Chain A
Amino acid sequence: MQPACSREMQAMDSLLNPTHHLPLQDLQIHGHPPPQFDNPTPSHDDFLEQMLSTASFPLSSSSWSDIDDNAFPQGGDGGSNPFQAMKMMMMMQQQLLVAGGPTVASAAATGGTHQGGGEGSITSMQALFNGFGDGSFSHPQPSFGAGSKTDINQSQGPAATTAAPEKPKQKVRARRGQATDPHSIAERLRRVRIAERMKALQELVPNANKTDKASMLDEIIDYVKFLQLQVKVLSMSRLGGAAAVAPLVADMPSEGGGDCVQTSANGGGVSLPRNSNGDQPSSANDSLTVTEHQVAKLMEEDMGSAMQYLQGKGLCLMPISLATAISTANSHSRSPMINHVNPNNGNHLLLQSSGGGGDGPSSPSMSVLTVQSATLGNGGVDGAASVSKP
């Protein structure tokens, strides 16, 4: 019954809103047109017209003006208007039955010009009307659902007159569980919009199965940082030519100021490795560059010695495609500090084995810093050295 109720409420709403002037005119100008007892061949708006016109009989002018004041000017609150309309309807029905007026099925009294509204509401209107005609007001109550139970209960009080003065108070209460305070409505709307957008973000950001808002924001922040870092490093890789290691590595902390994107903190963070192992002193920057210089030099002569040197340091050499794969795999976990560079020719990079090297992809914080060796200009072995720290 509830869908039917909503439909009929909508129909009534649409009816009342544009046509509310007409019944008033009927009452004021034409006085009280006699009811017509035609056959029940309804168009529901005619039925409504009939009801409104015949309801003028038993109604006192004060109550009618009350209804008028309360029912009609509420164009703004669309949620409560149908309920107001329904209340009005029921009140009039009540008075009709109390006055012993005839049950009017329909009539072609006035107008009949507005044939609007869906056909589906006709049957529901009929059903409602039958419910009224039975004289038991408890019928429509469950059909209106939880929406305005309290309102209807109160409006169906012992006397119609007592219902009328309560109308101004009921105007505030629209739905159960929802306040009509405009501020809270705006709040609710805002929260809904934010939730929608967060859901859209969840699909975009990988590893976003978090339900908590704070952790979601964390993931988003990390991902944005990671992407910005990637762009920065990729733009560095294009340089080609003889790229000295030190300026590149040292550049990152200093160029934070001149950047379009404000990632100064990150730019510094990448080149300064995290000192997880004790050998590396605080000036790990220099040691890195020294290592890379050495490796480049060694690689010129003999790859084998270069490899040995690296292994002595606890580093290893790997193709950059593999590093790319690892970095993309790590981007799905929480590892913000990954950047890698495609070298000019050679596809090698250094990787520090973290405790046996088995947990490369699973290591949550692996930073890969790739730079180009100083010997690129020779066109010889162009190795790209990169150091990663767990």
Chain B
Amino acid sequence: MCPHTSLKQQFLKKWIMGLQRCSFSKKNMSILERKKTIKLSADIAMASARNGTTRWSRALISNASKDGSDNRLVQQILGPDSNTPAATTTNKAGTRRASVCKKIVKRSHQIRRRRRKCVAAAPVKAVTSSISEHLVRKRRQVLKTLIPGGEFMDEICLIEETLDYITSLRVQVDVMRSVASACFSQS
């Protein structure tokens, strides 16, 4: 993935920093905690690599910082960027309001379109189109649950965020795999 090398390096740096900070606090953690910290640090590193440009990263960080137990971890990992949680909450509220308004407008458009369709189109066509719309809508709902912070996005935004999220997930997987193979190939 040549175009992602810079992103990979960024992610790696942040992740290692986060891991170091976490491991300094506790010496012996159970398996679950370790796993959680690793995953959490990886996620936070990935999200912070975006510098708050994408919504999913902001949602991820705000979700993590909402939880009390993880908050300490997040603060440690993020380090001096402690103002990001406040920013993310306001962002989310603002986007939520905006998306609610957008949803209302969209629903009115859909209703209007449906009315026009019922009048103009043949009944068969209307039925099939409504079925396909229903299918697409269902899948979109599932996608919204997958992407962090996806429930508050409209369709265009959702697809953009999915794009970004997929690339960052890929980067995460590649880096983790290479680190694992590097660590464990020696022994």
Q: How far is the CA of A262 from the CA of B150 in the complex (A)?
A: 11
Q: Are B169 and A214 in contact (CB under 8 A)?
A: no
Q: A234, B35: Cβ atoms under 8 Å?
A: no
What B residues does A261 contact at CB under 8 A?
43, 60, 148
- Whether A239 lies near B187 (C-beta < 8 A) is no
Stretch at the interface among B80-88, B90-98, B152-160: B152-160
Question: Does the CB pair A218–B139 fall under 8 Å?
Answer: yes
Across the interface, name the chain B residue whose C-beta is closest to A379: B187
Please give the number of chain A residues whose Cβ is less than 8 angstroms from any Cβ of chain B in the complex: 48
B2 contacts partner chain A, Cβ-Cβ < 8 Å:
no
Chain A residues near B38 (CB-CB < 8 A): 235-236, 238-239
Cβ-neighbour of A262 out of B32, B64, B148 (below 8 A) = B148
B125 interface residue per 8 A CB criterion:
no
**Is there an interface contact between B180 and A237, defined as CB atoms closer than 8 Å?**
yes
With an 8 Å Cβ cutoff, the count of chain B residues facing the other chain is 51
Interface mask (B81-117 → A, CB under 8 Å = 1, otherwise 0): 0000000000000000000000000000100110000
Query: CB < 8 Å: which of B43, B136, B155, B159 contacts A260?
Result: B43
The contact of A187 among B113, B146, B167, by CB within 8 Å, is: B113
Cβ of A200 within 8 Å of any chain B Cβ, yes or no, is yes
- A 206-243 contacts with B by CB, 8 A: 213-214, 217-218, 220-221, 223-225, 227-228, 230-232, 234-239, 241, 243
> Which B residues are closer than 8 A to A by beta carbons?
31-32, 34-36, 38-40, 42-44, 60, 63-64, 67, 70, 109, 112-113, 132, 135-136, 139-140, 142-143, 145-148, 155-156, 159-160, 162-163, 165-167, 169-170, 172-173, 176-177, 179-181, 183-184, 187
Which 5 residue pairs spanning A and B have beta carbons closest together? Answer: A217-B139, A235-B39, A227-B169, A234-B176, A197-B159
New contact pairs (13) apart from A224-B169, A231-B176, A238-B180, CB-CB < 8 Å: A190-B156, A204-B163, A214-B135, A220-B166, A224-B162, A227-B166, A234-B177, A238-B34, A238-B179, A251-B31, A260-B60, A260-B70, A344-B184
